[in-house]
Structure 1
Amino acid sequence: MTTAVQNAPGATPETTRHVSTVSWKTTVGLGVVLVLYCLLLVLVHHEGSSRFALSTPSDFFQLPVYVIPAMATAWVCAAVGAVMLVISVVATRGARRTPLWAVSVFAVALLFGFLAWASAGSPRDLSVVGLLGGALVLSVPLVYGAMTGVIGERAGVTNIAIESNLLAGAFTAAIAGSLTNSPWVGLLAAMVASALVSLVLAVFAITYRVNQIIVGVVLNVLVIGLTSFFYSLVLVPNTEALNATTRFERLPIPLLERIPVIGPVLFDQTIIVYLMYVMVPAVWFALFRTRWGLRVRAVGEHPRAADTVGVDVLRTRFRALLIAGAVGGMGGAFYTVVSINQFNKEMTAGAGFIALAAMIFGKWDPIRAALAGLLFGFATNLQNVLAVVGSPVPSQFMLMLPYVVTLFAVAGLVGRSRPPAALAVAYTKE
């Protein structure tokens, strides 16, 4: 850790000096990743070329399939990563943080080099549209879950129960959508069910001041148990009536969906994906540009001060959790009214915990948390794309990739994350 000590402007030597610290964690993390990447290239040499396809048949115009030498490209990307690592070292030694653009260039370069190495010699094209489009779809419940965490924790309530929000939403959407043959009813039912789960969290954590982490863990176990029980007892014997939903259809936006690369990825999606485009900036605006958001952040940072100026701390936290729960229900509904048309046991598969990591990775900021969710979705989809092109990378390794990325995020290798000051602290009005 590098420590920079500077006198404040106009201060005398006897006055207290400003001290700032810069951690080496980011630099060390980049170095470890670069070493592992280079070892992979040295130990497993791939001959041949890689083929990257950027277009789909419906695009306004067709982009060519780019054929590049795999190993040469991989080593050039390693060189770019090394330059970014040097920039990180210089910045850290100068008591400055590693520039975000340097970390981004490092990540993109090594990712591109890895894709070139993994697809070397394959007769099939690596579809960039398929890679990005699949990543976006897989990230939808993660982004909604991350928004759930951001809203609740900005209000000062630790939300370990995001998994239960998603699972309750998926279960309820399946039943309501099946009974009414309407995915819209399923979506609304999912929001209500998830909000009720958050209400239980609010009652125990806020009213009765039970340990918030324990309540969250118990809620996760409870919802998993209840949905699994009712799935076996009710849904399986009545699949046609209760577990066969009508799914949202894709709604391509005319003209925009024919733009090469970004058109099929962003503008040929379902309504829940389009709502996500609106939800993320709306949450950011609500938290940082409205009176409600100011009160939510106040009770999460200094509830006593908020109380003294007339803010009802308990009511504000209750409302924030209910709103957060409704948002999480939209992510849960995605599983049963978009992804597939029925509910299965534990179908969220830990997505709530990855969403929690995305929230921490994004430093409790809605935009950053959404970008982190997209990153984790990309890591999940990478295994599917590499399997299509016949990559030699073991499928088991690719399956664990999202969780490895999650560990890196929670470990703080992307920088220090400071949670709201009053997070997990129960408030008692004197």
Structure 2
Amino acid sequence: MELLNSILYDTVYHSAPIILCVIGGIFAYKANVLNIALEGMMLNGAFISVLVEYLTGSVALAVIAAIVTTLLWGLVFSFLGITCNGNVIVIGLGINLIVPAIAKFVLKVMELANISLQDVGVADFKINIPGIKSIPLIGGIVSGHPVITYLAFIGIAATAILMYKTKFGIYVRVVGENEDSAISLGLKTQKYKYIAVLIGAFCCALAGINLSMERMAMFTSDMTAGRGFIAIAAIYCGQGKPVQSSLYAILFGVARSLAVNLSVYAGPAAGMFDTIPYIIMVAVLAVVSFM
């Protein structure tokens, strides 16, 4: 029972950053913009949040700095890919390579292997929900997560409503499905594409903050470990639908949770379990492509 509780808790734990990238990336997907820079944007949020908190001691300033700088990367991507009609794949890959390079350079200048926060800990960010925590089984799974984790799951419903029940969502989908028709209706297509990418950047910043500051209170190089690419896979498997895509993100969260919890019993072969999420990602993509 203890192992099951741990697996279920860790499923929520590991799903949250992927879900945030998914719901952010869906907007660009619906606007017909392939944003493969999700990985780099998430890493930027993780790095800047921990760096600023380490230097200033202010969590609020760290969160703001992470969001603002990630939005700047979103603007860079949008300007080069949308305004200048550049190749979005090359631009996205460039961001994915530049961000970790900057992080490694800063760490080298600071003569640190990683940045560990001393004035805040992981426990400081966890929220125990009154009344829920005491419920057997469910309480231990649902309660005790950081605030951004809860925002990720709330964001699934919010994204579905925004995408299908508001004018903004309808316009984004029109721009993505038939840009010529959108132009004939008087829509400023570039504006909606910019907004779609920036929403994704904002969500990636939150994912990075959740990953580094809330969950670990530290930053290590390449700590995103391909989660941005897993999010892209989830978006395509779910055909850009918020609920379906998020379910695929949760599936990858389950895979990661199993890898972490089962590796304890694997002895010398524990490292092999780290490949489980990526094997499942490839397998799911293969199955979905034939459906």
TM-score w.r.t. the length of structure 1 is: 0.63
* Runs of at least 5 residues in structure 2 that lack an aligned partner in the other structure: none
Give the corresponding residue for 2:279: 404
SS of the residue 2:140 aligns to: helix
Structure number with the higher helix fraction is 2
Question: RCO higher in 1 or 2 (8 Å CA, sep ≥ 6)?
Answer: 2
SS of the residue 1:253 aligns to: coil
2:209 matched to 1:304? no
2:214 matched to 1:333? no
- The amino acid that maps onto 1:256 is I
* Identity over aligned pairs, percent: 27
CA distance in 2 between partners of 1:324 and 1:269 (Å):
23
CA distance in 1 between partners of 2:26 and 2:225 (Å):
21
Across the aligned residues of Structure 1 and Structure 2, the Cα RMSD in angstroms comes to 2.2
Return the match for 2:159 from 252, 259, 283: 283
Give the corresponding residue for 1:114: none
Q: How far 1:168 sits from its partner (Å)?
A: 0.5
1:186–1:337 Cα contact (<8 Å) kept:
no
2:19–2:153 Cα contact (<8 Å) kept:
no
Change in Cα spacing, 1:228 to 1:392, as seen in structure 2 (3 Å) is: closer
Correspondence list, 1:135-174, <5 A? 135-174=11-50
- The amino acid that maps onto 1:146 is V
| CA offset digits 1:63-98 (Å, max 9, x no partner) | xxxxxxxxxxxxxxxxxxxxxxxxxxxxxxxxxxxx
Give the corresponding residue for 1:360: 236
1:228–1:346 Cα contact (<8 Å) kept:
no
Change in Cα spacing, 1:218 to 1:378, as seen in structure 2 (3 Å) is: same
Query: Which of structures 1 and 2 has the bigger CA Rg?
Result: 1
2:130 matched to 1:257? no
SS of the residue 2:35 aligns to: coil
SS of the residue 1:364 aligns to: coil
| CA offset digits 1:200-228 (Å, max 9, x no partner) | 11011101101111111111111121111
2:181 matched to 1:294? no
Give the corresponding residue for 1:100: none
CA distance in 2 between partners of 1:234 and 1:300 (Å):
44
SS of the residue 1:258 aligns to: coil
Correspondence list, 1:101-180, <5 A? 127-180=3-56
Give the corresponding residue for 1:268: 144
Return the match for 2:104 from 228, 241, 244: 228
* Runs of at least 5 residues in structure 1 that lack an aligned partner in the other structure: 1-52, 54-125, 417-430
1:183–1:245 Cα contact (<8 Å) kept:
no
SS of the residue 1:256 aligns to: coil
Q: How far 1:157 sits from its partner (Å)?
A: 0.7
Return the match for 2:248 from 372, 377, 380: 372
Give the corresponding residue for 1:8: none
Change in Cα spacing, 1:237 to 1:127, as seen in structure 2 (3 Å) is: closer
SS of the residue 2:40 aligns to: helix
CA distance in 2 between partners of 1:130 and 1:246 (Å):
24
SS of the residue 1:411 aligns to: helix
- The amino acid that maps onto 1:407 is V
Change in Cα spacing, 1:336 to 1:396, as seen in structure 2 (3 Å) is: closer
Change in Cα spacing, 1:127 to 1:239, as seen in structure 2 (3 Å) is: closer
- The amino acid that maps onto 2:241 is D
1:245–1:341 Cα contact (<8 Å) kept:
no
CA distance in 2 between partners of 1:235 and 1:336 (Å):
19
CA distance in 2 between partners of 1:213 and 1:379 (Å):
27
